[in-house]
Amino acid sequence: MSSELSPIDKAKFVAAKQATQYVEDGMKVGLGTGSTAAWLVKCLGEMVENDGLKIRGVPTSSRTAELARDVGIEVISLDEAKWLDLTIDGADEFDGNLNLIKGGGGALLQEKIVATASDQMVVIADAAKSVETLGAFPLPIEVIPFGWQTTKMLVEETLIGMDVLGRTVSLRMNGDAPYYTDEGNHILDLHLNRIGHARQLSLVINQIPGVVENGLFIDICDVVVIGHGDGRVEVRDINEGTVEESRFDIIEKDNLFADLSD
């Protein structure tokens, strides 16, 4: 298999590599879900193998748990950890205030629980995920299967009073069958195009019976690490109010990264 990485994969890799600098020996670390987070897990696994890094990881999905074990990271549950030093995860969108849309990978509930049980949340993303206003990416909400069509109707009615441009709601599918999360729930994707008041929408959506959680992460992310295809990395820290830039020389490795894809 060729080791040549696409620009988007290079961007994800350098963001993940930069984010490993936040990880210290002995930490309990939340491990996100999705293609960008998979790069992080691989990078941390390399540090465990080559540098003797000792961490305990709390995965946000069964997929991430399997990958973490495969690369030698000790995996524990959130109940065992109780509280985390750090969570590193990807995002489907982020705005200038580091508010996020997450859940494209179907793990938003565990991701939000883990992120809010951490001293710090670091998001890794390629530059295409940066937006002025959230909403171009469909907003996922996790709903219980019982009465999901009624829940969908209530969501559609609620959106009429919200500051959004679109109101189409679709059930996420896995082939010909509904998609199921790790908790056995469904996901409704809200095609809103633009979200005028994300905080208000998050609060209102979560009041609808049948809704478990939504994919808006408001005031949770502390730092976003943005990768570019040419190796540049931008780090935005919302608490410090700083923006720093650096660059990685990318050395591509067949054995470590060729098996990762979107």
SS (H, E, C) 123-136: EEEEHHHECCCCCC
17 is in an annotated binding site: no
End-to-end CA separation in angstroms for the chain: 16
161 is in an annotated binding site: no
57 is in an annotated binding site: no
Residues marked as catalytic: 111
CB 188 within 8 A of CB 155: yes
246 SS3 class: strand
6 is in an annotated binding site: no
104 is in an annotated binding site: yes
Residue with tokens 């750090």: 86
175 is in an annotated binding site: no
129 is in an annotated binding site: yes
- What is the C-alpha separation between 169 and 153, in angstroms, rounded? 9
Q: What is the DSSP string of 32-95?
A: --SHHHHHHHHHHHHHHHHH----EEEESSHHHHHHHHHTT-EE--HHHHSSBSEEEE--SEE-
70 is in an annotated binding site: no
54 is in an annotated binding site: no
| Six-digit token string for 58 | 């709390």
Nearest Cα neighbor of 37 from 60, 21, 53, 8 is 60
241 is in an annotated binding site: no
106 is in an annotated binding site: no
CB 35 within 8 A of CB 262: yes
Element (H, E) at 159: helix 148-159
60 is in an annotated binding site: no
Return binding residues for substrate: 33-36, 89-92, 102-105, 129
Return binding residues: 33-36, 89-92, 102-105, 129
